[in-house]
Every structure is written in C-alpha cells, then in structure tokens.
Amino acid sequence: MIAILFLLLLIPLLFILLFFNVATFSFARLGMSQTGAFLFLTASIIGSLINIPLSRRRTMVQNPQGYPLSMFFFYYPPVVQEQVICLNVGGAGLPVLLSLYLLLGGRAPFWPTLLAVVLVTIVAKMMARPKPGVGIVMPAFIPPLVAVAAALILAPSGHTAPVAYVAGAMGRNFFPNFIYTVSPFQLYFHFIILA
C-alpha cells in the first residue's frame, strides 16, 4: 500500500522532470547551454506571475436607461471602470527579448523569420476571438504548428529552430494581443495582459 502511494506521488514529479528535460533540450537547439536553458525556463515560469502595467484607460461599461421624466429629477451617471493593459514578463517579455537576441545575434535570418512571423500572425489573427470574461482565445496547437511548418519551408538549413521560436513567440503570443489592444475593438475587460 505504501509502495502504491509512493508511486502515485512520484508520477507527477517524473512528469515535471520530463517537461524540464524536453524544454532544456529545445532551448539547447536555439544555441543555449543547459544551464542557460534551465535558467531561462525558470525565469519564464516565475515571470509568468509578474504583470507590468503599461497603460490605463477608462471605459464606459453601461449607460443607464432611466424613465422619460426621471432625467429632470434624477441623474444616473454612466458606470465607468478602469481598463489596465499589462505586459506579462514570462509570457511576452522574456520570449520577445530572446527573439530579439536570436534575430540580432544572427541565429535567425531576418527575411525568413519576418515572413514566418507574418504568416503566424495572420493565422493567429484569423483564429483569435475575444471572449468576455476570459480574454482573447485561440486554439493552442495550430499557431505553433504553423510556426514550425513556416520555419521548415522558409528557413535555411541549420536555422530552423530559431526561426520557428521567433515566429511562434512573436506571431502567436504578442502581435494578435497587441492588434486587439491597439484597435478600436471594444474589449470590456478589467485587465488586458499581453502574454
């Protein structure tokens, strides 16, 4: 009985170790050392808890409707709340910094990477839908698969992993959220987190 309980407690730990090993191997394909990959992954996980406010704006939620004669006796102010646009450190900040490092360091060639980012952004924009109370939702696996396919087609040999990472990080995570935030589209959320 104790062996079964120990095994049940050990299985989640094995999955966590497997995840860290796969992620470390993936970052090693980008040219990072195992220590650097582990530190970047740990920083991304811890950074996902940190949201940096970028801007605040007031939004009118509802304009109350009164009775026809009530406007002479009562004033019903519109309900206004504040909308905060935040940058998630682990979900947008660090991946964008690593993408810039890969682009400026020459590991990801500029033109194939730019074309892959545009392709992933178009696919992500077509699939992203604002959902009240949740945020901007899209299928989880389609944009990364498009990033990999675009990198396999567009990137020269040996540069596939950096192009796929930059296209996935910039095209899926950052730009669709930014497009929805900057556009005059009415998003009635208290927080918009770029992640």
Give the three-state DSSP class for 177.
helix
The pLDDT value given to residue 49: 94
DSSP 104-153: HTTSS-HHHHHHHHHHHHHHHHHH-EEETTTEEE--SSHHHHHHHHHHHH
Per-residue pLDDT at 127: 85
Cβ neighbours of 141 (radius 10 Å): 7
Task: Name the residue type at position 30.
Answer: L
Q: What pLDDT score does 102 carry? A: 94
The one-digit pLDDT tens for each residue of the chain (195 residues) are 788 888 888 888 898 888 888 888 888 889 899 889 989 999 999 999 999 998 887 776 665 555 555 555 555 555 657 777 788 899 889 999 999 999 999 899 999 999 999 999 999 888 887 776 666 778 888 989 999 999 999 999 889 999 999 999 998 876 666 665 555 445 556 666 777
Q: What pLDDT does 7 receive?
A: 83
Can you tell me whether residue 87 is helix, strand or coil?
Answer: strand
C-alpha pair distances (Å), 3 with each of 16, 41, 100, 132, 159: 20, 32, 49, 46, 47
Please tell me the pTM assigned to this model: 0.79
Whether the Cβ atoms of residue 142 and residue 123 lie closer than 8 Å to each other = yes
Q: What is the pLDDT of residue 184?
A: 40
DSSP class of 54:
E
Supply the pLDDT for residue 45.
92
Supply the pLDDT for residue 147: 95
Neighbours of 97 (CB within 10 A): 13
Q: What's the confidence (pLDDT) of residue 84? A: 79
